[in-house]
Amino acid sequence: MSKTTRSEAAPLTADIGSETIPLKQACVIAAREVIAAEGCAALSLRDVARRLGVSHQAPYRHYPTRDDLLAEVLRQCFAEFAQALAARTPHENAQDELGSLGDAYLGYAAAHPVEYALMFTDPWPQAAHHPAMAQAAKIAFDELRSVLTRVYAQVPAPWQMAWVERDALCIWAAIHGLASISRLDATAALGLAPVSQLRAHVFGMIERSMANESVLNNNIPKQTDT
């Protein structure tokens, strides 16, 4: 039976490739490598320690539980995702900007399948116990909230913030569904067109469907997409 006392001599740095970096940061890099190679379910603090060549107790200094490490990985992913969304092509017309936000979203999902699946498929650690992670996720979601607020604000009719919230969740569901189906590559088997050909139609559906039609549909010039 091995003793599990925490050694005071545990290393504060680890080597990743030819670089020596602080252990706290190295753990996150190693965790992302484990997740990319073996999936989220395979992540353990012990495995991270083994990869870094440090004692299996060392990571516990910075991450008392596996969930703490996973939450930090997720926080980083959400921050990168929010940055990608914020880097969308700006448009004076808010509906056009909603389209470029959608493109930025789908572009990120296609370019970063591991991170996307981690954020939106695998179970999160409890958000209440990991406020930094939850806050980073909220910042990413706020990109959609802010564009939708602009969409409503450019309509000359009363509107409520509650509609923005409701639409944001529905639009997220639609775009998330599209991103997920794109990854599946099942459309050919189902006799359907490739998802990439449907981008314009989905965005058109979202535009036409938005919320309280007495506000938006009657005030924004209608477009046909055929």
Nearer to a copy of itself, 12 or 184 (CB): 184
CA-closest candidate to residue 56, choices 66, 65, 45, 67: 45
CB of 181 to a copy of itself, least distance (A): 5
Q: Is the Cβ–Cβ distance between 13 and 26 less than 8 Å?
A: yes
Q: Is the Cβ–Cβ distance between 69 and 45 less than 8 Å?
A: yes
- Virtual torsion, Cα 168, 70, 72, 104, nearest 10 deg: -40
For a copy of itself, the binding residue among 2, 3, 9, 189 (CB under 8 A) is 189
For a copy of itself, the binding residue among 201, 219, 220, 221 (CB under 8 A) is 201
CB of 22 to a copy of itself, least distance (A): 28
Q: Does 123 bind a copy of itself (CB under 8 A)?
A: yes
Q: Does 193 bind a copy of itself (CB under 8 A)?
A: yes
Contacts of 210 (CB under 8 A, 6+ apart): 151, 167, 216, 217
Nearer to a copy of itself, 151 or 195 (CB): 195
Encoding tokens for residue 3? 């003793």
Please, which of residues 38-97 interact with a copy of itself by CB under 8 A? Answer: 39, 41
Separation CA 193–CA 202 (nearest Å): 13
- Burial status of residue 147 (CB atoms within 10 A of its CB: 0-12, 13-18, 19 or more): buried
SS3 226: coil
Q: Does 191 bind a copy of itself (CB under 8 A)?
A: yes
Q: Does 221 bind a copy of itself (CB under 8 A)?
A: no
Q: Does 226 bind a copy of itself (CB under 8 A)?
A: yes
Nearer to a copy of itself, 19 or 213 (CB): 213
* Binding interface with a copy of itself (CB under 8 A): 39, 41, 117, 120-121, 123-124, 127-128, 134, 137-138, 141, 165-170, 172-178, 180-181, 184-193, 195, 198, 201-202, 204-206, 208-214, 217, 222, 224, 226
